[in-house]
Amino acid sequence: MTKPDQHSLHALGIETSCDETAAAVVEMTPAGGRIVSNVVLSQIAEHSAFGGVVPEIAARAHVEALDGVIAAALAEAGVELRDLDLIAATAGPGLIGGLIVGLMTGKALAAASGLPLVPVNHLEAHALTARLTDGAAFPYLLLLVSGGHTQVVLVRGVGSYERWATTIDDALGEAFDKTAKLLGLPYPGGPAVEAAAARGDVSRFNLPRPLRGEARPDFSFSGLKTAVRQAANQLAPVSQTDIDDICASFQRAIVDTLTERVGRSLARFRAEFPDIASPTLVVAGGVAANEAIRSGLEKLCAEHGMRIVAPPAALCSDNGAMIAWAGLERMRAGLVGDNAQSFAPRPRWPLDEDAAPLVGHGKRGAKA
């Protein structure tokens, strides 16, 4: 490849933290970023029979598919390894088996090509995607909502994060998945619940809004999940109408809870950064693709005089483009170390390493 701009940088991004095997080539220029290729191979078919991701199956699928996915990403971009400036690979957080596959592949390619390797924090990649898609300027507020994480983070700059709020039990995506499984809906649960909710009556079930009115900005979803189970048990066997109405009521409760909780962080951001001309809330992670949640957050941001940025749905779920971009951001910021080849995958890797653990926080880790 002949680079159109001598100041441009090109990265290969590798993502294997959960159940998507992904690779992408991304270009960074002084004017911004461009996705040159983005290949994602989903493992939904492999895991659907189990109602969730099976770590061993995911790791084996990554082993079988990753070389081909990388080759496809390079071919789609019309480049070879020697045309690139760096290789970025997800090093955590995530399922340890998948992380090992992706990071070891990145290490091998970097060693063979002589390119620098950047181990990427998957959460940082989500946090920085809005800079690739929308040129979001620091500082901004991040709402990260996915299967394993629900938190509000102040993004001061590349590598500089301050957690303002987190879940004390289930992550939001986890609550969607468990609700879907309880109601017999297919995997993945989030889109299935959203589709059922579109047909349902949002007012039929009076479900709780956890932590509503509390001064603390944190989240809780386990009580809502329990209320869904109780409603379903009282109606058993549930009809399709029952399922649709439960999903609609559940999703409305989620939107109400999320906007009430996030509103506290928006007010804090406006108070701490009164001189920012265009204060921004970035919404990232797989659950950010939910249209009802996006709509509720758009209204909330309008009330607080803030702009909302949510990357396209394809870039909210796991993908290699966000990993490549995060690697490029870290290189531009001078945050590429010399110990990448010895970097060990981290199944738990918080953005804010100084954040105190929360008592009662769920199995995914006090700092996650």
Q: Is the Cα dihedral 33, 38, 44, 46 positive or negative?
A: negative
Q: pTM value?
A: 0.92
Q: Is the Cα dihedral 51, 93, 346, 119 positive or negative?
A: positive
Give which of 298, 312, 311, 291 is closest to 263, Cα–Cα: 298
Dihedral of CA atoms 141, 144, 145, 146 in degrees, nearest 10, equals: 170
Q: Are strands 9-15 and 20-29 parallel, antiparallel or unpaired?
A: antiparallel
CATH number for region 138-310? 3.30.420.40
Domains 9-130+315-342 and 138-310 share a fold: yes
Domain boundaries, the chain: 9-130+315-342, 138-310
pLDDT in tens, the chain (368 residues): 334 445 799 999 999 999 999 999 999 999 999 999 999 999 888 888 887 889 999 999 999 999 999 999 999 999 999 999 999 999 999 999 999 999 999 999 999 999 999 999 999 999 999 999 999 999 999 999 987 889 999 999 999 999 999 999 999 999 999 999 999 999 889 999 999 999 999 999 999 999 999 999 999 999 999 999 999 999 999 999 999 999 999 999 999 999 999 999 999 999 999 999 999 999 999 898 999 999 999 999 999 999 999 999 899 999 999 999 999 999 999 998 889 999 999 999 999 998 887 654 444 433 33
69 contacts 89 by C-beta, under 8 angstroms: no
Give which of 172, 122, 107 is closest to 20, Cα–Cα: 122
Dihedral of CA atoms 123, 124, 125, 128 in degrees, nearest 10, equals: 130
CATH number for region 9-130+315-342? 3.30.420.40
